Amino acid sequence: MSDTCSCHTLDHSQTLDHHDVLQSTRTSDNTPTNSPNPIPSEWEPPLSRTSRFFFRVMCICLTLHWDLEFMWEIFREPNGWENFHTLYLTQINQCSTVQGLVLTTVAVFISTLPPLKQINYAASGPYTLLSESLVFSLFGLLFQLYTSVVGHSYQKQKTFEALKRSRWLFLCHIIILSIPVYTFGISLLLLIFAISVTGFLSSSKSAQIFTGATFALLAAYLVASIIPSPVYPRLHNFLYYGTTMTKKDVRGGDGSGQDHGKEAGSAA
């Protein structure tokens, strides 16, 4: 008799446990899941139309994204802030090597006479562009050296905590990180423009033809590389919709929001 009672008690307890498990599962399914560590309200786009426009433009120019949400996806990961700046410092050191090559090339053009009279890069136009390229190359190396020295202090978590207080503070930080890259790009473009002007102003028809064909081919390569990249739909949406685009529309034009964390290299 006692054995029968114990068996009934055991079956009843197992039934209650199974019922509790099912009820807890249903409750968890009905409960909406919130993403951990949502983006701070200080990093959201401002409410003012003018401020929102400048915010969008700065985000596009500095991060190639509409907002700072994808940056927050990177920084909320464990050691995300430190890993981001470590990758940036590695790339800035590589940029310094290429910047030194540009500086050497420009210095050679400025300090030597043209070997052919038909291709005269010592004329006023090309020489001015070469001089400007030399100046930007020198300042580029200076900014890159400064960023490499001071960049280790940016990796500290307290720096991130201070920048979380305002979207504009964080954008100023990104501007500081972007100055060496933009300076390098300007110096390289000035060197390319100097070479192109020298070729187009040459008295040799063959030099003009080869210069035009070369830059037409480079322009085709540039367009072919931009169209399949994530930059093209963002730029198209920005020019077409302007500041009237909502966050839902932006995400639709960008693609899935889950891919933001994979683009740390482009943001740097």
The whole-model pTM stands at 0.67
Burial 153-188 (b: 16+ CB within 10 A, else e): ebbeeeebeebeeebeebbebbeebbebbebbebbb
Name the more confident of 3 and 121. 121
Question: What pLDDT, in 10s, does the model give residues 29-46?
Answer: 444 444 556 787 788 888
Given this model, what pLDDT does residue 253 score? Answer: 41
Given this model, what pLDDT does residue 244 score? Answer: 42
Question: What pLDDT, in 10s, does the model give residues 180-203?
Answer: 999 999 999 999 999 888 888 888
Question: What pLDDT, in 10s, does the model give residues 186-245?
Answer: 999 999 999 888 888 888 888 888 888 988 898 888 888 777 766 666 666 655 655 444
Average pLDDT of 62-72?
81
CA angle 119, 120, 124 (to 5 degrees): 145
Average pLDDT of 98-114?
90
- Integer Cα distance of 139 and 180 in angstroms: 8
At 122, list the tokens.
């010592």
Question: pLDDT band at 86, cuts 50/70/90?
Answer: confident
Q: Where are the domains of the chain?
A: 47-243
